[in-house]
Amino acid sequence: MIHNPWEEIDLMTYESHMSLKSVAQLQLLNQMMKEQFESYGVSTIMVLGIAGGNGLEHINVDCVKKVYGVDVNPDYLLECGKRYKSLGNVLETICTDLLQEALQLPHADLLVADLLVEYIGYACFQKVVNLVGPQYVSCIIQVNTDESFVSDSPYLYSFECLEKVHCQMEEAPLTNAMQEIGYKSLQRQERALPNGKRLLRMDFCCKD
């Protein structure tokens, strides 16, 4: 059985790397996720690659009735559930590999995919969007200034396993992929990281 490399990466290692001052992706993603959650006034949200639940503290339970947290790593989801017990039945975790053929996912009004499409590719992401059927899709992709997609850090060795599944995302092909399945661009926002890389948020809505 082929395992997804994300099952091999320890959550503490991942978050320690992402939160380093020289990387600062965990902090910036947290700010950007708050904006993603508050942009469209939806009642159901699905977060792909939820990991330990970074950003979930911004969920307004007076408005949002269900949040689906999806990840391939069961340990991530276990920790996510512990951290956000306050969300109660609003949070439902789903352990699944988005690359599997017999994928099943519930509907959500907003689909959030941050630093996720890079690990499943455009075609698989199209499949996921079609399964979930959201009104809105909000993605964050990383814009690199060099050939390295993982920022330099003492934890770098832990992410070598990702090289076999990572695909660099580009704005135009992602936009085209979304247009192919009936979604038009809504907005884009770009934020700088301390190491020169950037996070690009791209939002889409269903044309119907």
The per-residue pLDDT for 106 is 97
Say what the pLDDT of residue 131 is. 97
User: Where are the domains positioned within the chain?
Assistant: 5-206
pTM of the complete model beyond 0.85: yes
CATH number of 5-206: 3.40.50.150
Tens place of pLDDT per residue across the chain (208 aa): 447 766 777 788 777 766 667 666 778 888 999 999 999 999 999 999 999 999 999 999 999 999 999 999 999 999 999 999 999 999 999 999 998 889 999 999 999 999 889 888 899 999 999 999 999 999 999 887 655 545 444 445 455 555 565 567 788 999 999 999 999 999 999 988 877 788 899 999 998 7
Instruction: Please check whether residue 73 is in contact with residue 57, taking contact to mean a CB–CB distance below 8 angstroms.
Output: no
Question: Quick one: tokens of 30?
Answer: 């947290």
User: What pLDDT, on the 0 to 100 scale, is given for residue 166?
Assistant: 56
